């Protein structure tokens, strides 16, 4: 089994960050439950990560970035389980995750246009879990439910590539007054463990 873990936290080296704690927990759980799995990690904010941005040059001379894009697409397509770990930022995905998506959501590689609209080119075998940390409660608080943009955006992109389902695991309400942060993180870890136990082969 091939697993792709994408860390989209700007402060990716800080072990106190919730997303980094959840990623560490996920990797430990994977090693315990599926010791023979192949795990690839992409740390989007690591300066060593080769992640082209959309620029005038890349738009007008796509050959300048095609090698990097093909590498990222090949890695994405080869994965059986994809884990996206991200802190919510202003209701949406962080900028580096958008850059990453711009490099794998490519016409005639992961989707194509037809006379009746675009269709995905992936076979749909991948399982995707999106792990999101947030200061507020975007699942239950009516003030924020309509602002739960990031999961909606990711589901849309995945569906257009041919992946029909995405599981969301949340560590939310972390910054609310009186919030029990350790308990919130512990619950997210428990949910993540249960997901991995059910989906690792």
Least Cα distance to 5 among 99, 18, 15, 20 occurs for 20
State how far the Cα of 141 lies from the Cα of 28, in Å rounded to an integer: 32
State how far the Cα of 132 lies from the Cα of 153, in Å rounded to an integer: 13
What was the pLDDT predicted at 201?
Answer: 74
What was the pLDDT predicted at 128?
Answer: 98
Q: At what angle do helices 18-33 and 181-199 cross, to 10 degrees?
A: 30
CATH class of 2-199: alpha beta
Indicate the pairing of strand 2-7 with strand 38-43.
Answer: parallel
With a cut of 50, which residues of the chain have pLDDT below it?
none
Calculate the alpha carbon distances from 125 to 16, 31, 128, 161 in Å. 34, 22, 10, 12
| Pair 9, 20: CB distance under 8 Å | yes
């Amino acid at each position: 089994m091939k697993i792709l873990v994408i860390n989209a936290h700007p402060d990716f080296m800080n072990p106190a960050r919730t997303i980094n704690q959840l990623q560490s927990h996920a990797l430990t759980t994977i090693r315990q439950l599926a010791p023979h799995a192949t795990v690839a990690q992409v740390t989007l904010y690591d300066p060593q990560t080769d992640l082209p941005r959309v620029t005038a040059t890349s738009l007008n001379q796509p050959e300048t970035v095609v090698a990097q894009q093909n590498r990222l697409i090949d890695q994405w397509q080869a994965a059986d389980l994809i884990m996206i770990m991200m802190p919510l930022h202003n209701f949406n995905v962080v900028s580096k995750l958008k850059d990453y998506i711009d490099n794998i959501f490519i016409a005639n590689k992961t989707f194509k246009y037809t006379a009746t609209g675009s269709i995905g080119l992936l076979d749909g075998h991948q399982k995707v879990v999106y792990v999101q940390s947030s200061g507020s409660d975007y699942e239950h608080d009516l003030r924020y439910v309509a602002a739960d943009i990031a999961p909606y955006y990711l589901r849309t992109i995945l569906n257009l590539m041919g992946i029909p389902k995405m599981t969301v695991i949340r560590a939310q309400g972390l910054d609310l007054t009186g919030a029990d942060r350790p308990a919130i993180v512990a619950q997210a870890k428990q949910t993540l463990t249960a997901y991995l136990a059910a989906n690792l082969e």
